[in-house]
Amino acid sequence: MVRYRIEPYRGKPGFVSISAGRFTVIVTSEVAQRFERLVRRARPRGWWQLRLLLELAEYGRVKAKAAYWVGGRAVAYAGSYQRSLDAIMERAGARYVPGPRGGEWSAYYELVGDGE
């Protein structure tokens, strides 16, 4: 299991700081609770999957194309990242929504319910 920290954010009441590996974000306590429920359900296997779960908790949707999320030399492994993205979204219970004309680039995963 990937380690992360959730701490109160002193700058704004009702906000918390979520830190893990390569990122730190400030979100509302409701988003942090939704994030923790998703982490318990989906069991992320790396900081990249953890970041995807945070995006899903914060915005309710995540772009479904892994090439959108990776850059640089990691693009060579886009297939592996795509399998990783599909697996974590399946475990999180997110629903796949194809693009307007069935397109892959505009498709996204949407959080069903409230992360329960």
pTM score, two decimals?
0.88
Q: Does residue 115 lie within any of the structural domains?
A: no
CA pair distance 45, 88, nearest whole angstrom: 9
d(CA 59, CA 87): 19
* Predicted local distance difference test score (pLDDT) of residue 11: 85
- pLDDT, residue 60, reads 95
Residue 14, classified by CB atoms within 10 Å of its CB into exposed (0-12), middle (13-18) or buried (19+), is: exposed
- Name the residue range of residue 9's domain: 5-110
CA quadruple 32, 34, 35, 38: dihedral, nearest 10: 160
In a domain, 26, yes or no: yes
According to the model, what pLDDT value does residue 113 have? 76
Q: Is residue 15 part of a domain?
A: yes
| pLDDT (tens place) for every residue of the chain, 116 residues total | 789 999 999 988 999 999 988 889 999 999 999 999 999 999 999 888 999 999 999 999 999 998 888 878 887 888 899 999 999 999 999 999 999 888 888 999 999 876 55
Q: Specify whether the CB–CB gap between 44 and 4 falls below 8 A.
A: no
Q: Is residue 50 domain-resident?
A: yes
Asked if residue 116 is part of any domain, the answer here is no
Number of domains in the chain: 1
pLDDT tens across 13-28, in order?
999 999 988 889 999 9
